[in-house]
Amino acid sequence: MEERQTYRLYALLANTDNIEYASTQRFHRITACYVLVFTNEEMPADAIEISADEANHLTPYETAWLRDCALAIALEAVQSEDTAAKTMTMLDRIEKALQAQAEQISED
């Protein structure tokens, strides 16, 4: 079974080292004052995790960027073969349950 990954939003000061680090991450947003990184990896010690409450104070552009990151991750999960196989198994079980229920109704 595939392990569920937890992504978190982090903020870093916009300095050369942090910008270089962020550039190696898939989801990053660099501004003149700070850097945002959305990742499931460990972050440098000077990174500050942004809580859900604090995320409510993001700019509309940052909120849209974060939404795009989450959407990309969700789409990849849905498109994976493992997810497709699980979906087919679930649909098969639903079909069998509906058939059994229909047979029971027709017997009554």
Domains held by the chain: number: 1
Evaluate the CA torsion angle 53, 57, 62, 67 in order and state its sign. Answer: positive
pLDDT digits (tens, 9 = 90+) for 1-31: 456 789 999 999 999 999 999 999 999 999 9
| Residue-level pLDDT at 2 | 55
Range of the domain at 52: 8-80
pLDDT digits (tens, 9 = 90+) for 71-91: 999 888 777 767 777 888 888
Whole-number Å distance between alpha carbons of 48 and 18: 12
94, pLDDT greater than 90: yes
Q: Which amino acid is at 22?
A: A
| Residue-level pLDDT at 1 | 45
Answer whether residue 60 is part of any domain: yes
Answer whether residue 61 is part of any domain: yes
pLDDT digits (tens, 9 = 90+) for 34-49: 999 999 999 989 999 9
Answer whether residue 88 is part of any domain: no
Answer whether residue 38 is part of any domain: yes
